[in-house]
Amino acid sequence: MTTNTIRRLLLALMLFPGFSLIAQEIALPTDYLSTDFHKSRRQAFKEKLPPNSVAVIFANPVRNRANDVDYIYHQDPNFYYLTGYKEPHSMVILFSEPQMGPNGEMYDEVLFAQSRNAREEMWTGRRLGPDRAGEVLDIAQVLDHSAFKEADINFTAFDKVWFPQFHNDVRDTRSEADLYDLINQFRSKAGIPEDFNPRKHAIHQQIRESTPDYYQNLAEEIFRATRWDPGLKDDPVIQEFIGAGSVESRKKIAASIPKSNLDPQGLTNVMKQLREIKSGEELKLLRKAVSISCVGQIEVMKAMRPEMSETEIQGIHEFVFKKYGAEYEGYPSIVGAGYNGCILHYIENNRPSVDGDLVLMDLGAEYHGYTADVTRTIPANGKFTEEQKLIYNIVLEAQDAGIAACQPGGSMRAPHLAAKEVIDRRLAELGIIKEGESHNYFPHGTSHYVGLDVHDPGTGGPLQAGSVITVEPGIYIPAGSPCDEKWWNIAVRIEDDILITETGHENLSALAPRTVEAIEQMMAQKSVLENLSLPDLDKQ
């Protein structure tokens, strides 16, 4: 059933009394991703499954904040991308070929959705329930999540079973079909042992499927993997394979590894390929999230006063987000003045007055699931000092070089290499480092994909039209750095979201001023918040 058919049906139902619940749902925003989008993504996913294979994707866990208060629920982005379903305690199974159901019906997808429960819905909100989920999401087969326990799906009969890394923070609740139970039921049906280690398992299977002419390369690859996952070294099969002295002994090790259809990597790899390229619908939402974030930056530029706190500045950004209907921040907002700006993911935002310093503001509105990631750095007092301006302009030049390197077919590393070259050269010219000296003033990468996640999945391969990446060089000079004190506590990051196009790129966040002159001009403008006056609670 298409979205339009559902709308027509709901309108018809509204003509009858007693449908106030449905009528209220009609008043929701109308620009979410369409049912057809999610359906097309499932189709694209199924086409990438190997023959006779199955993929299982779980909803995110509900996470506890403290006592009886949970964090706001956020769906697993892969699960949302493939289904559009926003509720917890559910799972979706996608098959490479249609399967026959108990009544002879054929289906190649099944969602196990949360049951309706009037009492719980009164406290925590409405649920679609399996029946309506089938219609609204247009998924071939939707069953109550409690049906998975008895579902006749023989996972051992498939050539590949794709599944995600299991979360280790899933709580068992009173329900017998919560996420905890769904995962355990799946583990038991698929024969996944208690001590299953996805990395070890993947390496074992790689060894098993490798050809003798590749053994040496593979041994070196595995050895490199043990550097960032030292636990792998304790595994006897891995130890023996790396240390083996001959092709013959490696052949024996490979032959001793049992064949397994469990594949904890296929799902991740395909989701990287699919989510890297944004469709028109996705770009519309992403553009909106980015534009909202830019307006946040602009309004803060206008409203900034030196005596403002980091918290208040954060509040102005987030007020703008909500004013435009962006539900959340895509990641915890970063507002750091002076030294605090040197802390890359500073989220305390509790300095009482930003006076005298540069204020680094890295915030992204999340609009219908898609998040922006935009950083501007501005002087609390409205004018850059000479030192602040010099550092700022290096970062700006580095960012321009990085953005120029955003070309289809170009390397994902190219923006970073271009930005780093500028920063290294200019820092040496200012005498902050010696020429060729390695330094820690630019300690992070320059680009990542952005989308449903702020650090969105992608292949890392040549840049492709339709993907969106950040370009975000920075220079951070905390007090105590080995350079003249006049540079201390200057921290600058400038971050824009860049769409790769067929012919080059488009800066989606160009609306937010970037140059020293444009920022100072914007800061001199009147703010709509100027006359906002609230009572002084300390004087009451």
Q: How far is the CB of 454 from ligand GLY (least distance, A)?
A: 6
* Amino acid type, 464: Q
Partner that binds at residue 87, options ligand GLY, Mn ion, none, CB closer than 5 to 8 Å by kind? none
- Which one of 18-26, 362-370, 415-423, 433-441 is the stretch in contact with Mn ion (CB under 5 A)? 362-370
Q: Toward Mn ion, which CB reaches closer, 96 or 470? A: 470
Contact 491, 477 (CB under 8 A): yes
Site for ligand GLY, residues 253 to 272, rule: CB under 6 A: none
Does residue number 472 form part of the binding site for ligand GLY (CB under 6 A)?
yes
- Identify how many contiguous H helices and E strands the chain contains and give both numbers: 17, 19
Does residue number 263 form part of the binding site for Mn ion (CB under 5 A)?
no
Bridge partners (DSSP) of residue 329 are 365
Binding mask 23-52 for Mn ion (x = CB under 5 A): ------------------------------
Q: How far is the CB of 373 from ligand GLY (least distance, A)?
A: 5
C-beta pairs of 184-191 under 8 Å, 24+ apart in sequence: 185/148, 185/149, 186/56, 186/91, 186/148, 186/155, 189/153, 189/154, 189/155, 190/56, 190/155, 190/156, 190/161, 190/163, 190/262, 191/155, 191/156, 191/262
Partner that binds at residue 329, options Mn ion, ligand GLY, none, CB closer than 5 to 8 Å by kind? none
Partner that binds at residue 282, options Mn ion, ligand GLY, none, CB closer than 5 to 8 Å by kind? none
Q: Toward ligand GLY, which CB reaches closer, 295 or 454? A: 454
Site for Mn ion, residues 434 to 473, rule: CB under 5 A: 470, 472
Q: Toward ligand GLY, which CB reaches closer, 192 or 320? A: 320
Does residue number 329 form part of the binding site for ligand GLY (CB under 6 A)?
no
H or E, element range at 374: strand 374-379
Does residue number 454 form part of the binding site for ligand GLY (CB under 6 A)?
yes
Using CB under 6 A, pick the residue from 362, 366, 453, 456 that binds ligand GLY: 362
Torsion over CA of 117, 120, 121 and 125, rounded to 10 degrees?
-140
Contact 203, 232 (CB under 8 A): yes
Q: Toward ligand GLY, which CB reaches closer, 108 or 456? A: 456
Q: How far is the CB of 459 from ligand GLY (least distance, A)?
A: 18
Q: Toward Mn ion, which CB reaches closer, 90 or 377? A: 377
Q: Which residue, among 73, 90, 94, 71, has the nearest Cα to 82 in the 3D structure?
A: 94
Does residue number 178 form part of the binding site for ligand GLY (CB under 6 A)?
no
Using CB under 5 A, pick the residue from 109, 263, 362, 456 that binds Mn ion: 362
Q: Toward ligand GLY, which CB reaches closer, 334 or 422? A: 334
Site for ligand GLY, residues 489 to 518, rule: CB under 6 A: 495
Q: How far is the CB of 395 from ligand GLY (least distance, A)?
A: 14
Q: Toward ligand GLY, which CB reaches closer, 76 or 472? A: 472
Partner that binds at residue 331, options ligand GLY, Mn ion, none, CB closer than 5 to 8 Å by kind? ligand GLY
Q: How far is CA 297 from CA 73, 235, 250, 352, in A?
A: 27, 51, 58, 20
Q: Toward Mn ion, which CB reaches closer, 106 or 417? A: 417
Strand order, beta sheet including 334-337:
334-337, 358-363, 374-379
Contact 68, 58 (CB under 8 A): no
Q: Toward ligand GLY, which CB reaches closer, 202 or 454? A: 454
Q: What is the rounded CA–CA span in Å between residue 81 and residue 75?
A: 10
Report the b/e string of 453-482 with b at 16+ CB within 10 A: bbebbbeeeebbebbbbbbbbbbbbbeebe
Site for Mn ion, residues 371 to 410, rule: CB under 5 A: 373
Report residue 98: phi and psi, to 5°: -60, 145
Q: What is the largest CA-CA distance in the chain?
A: 85
Using CB under 6 A, pick the residue from 81, 215, 331, 370 that binds ligand GLY: 331
Bridge partners (DSSP) of residue 505 are 500
Residues with Cβ < 8 Å from 252, sequence gap 6 or more? none
DSSP alpha helix (H) spans, 232-384? 236-243, 247-256, 266-276, 280-303, 310-323
Using CB under 6 A, pick the residue from 276, 312, 357, 373 that binds ligand GLY: 373
Per CB under 5 A, residues contacting Mn ion are: 362, 373, 470, 472, 495
Per CB under 6 A, residues contacting ligand GLY are: 331, 362, 373, 454, 472, 495
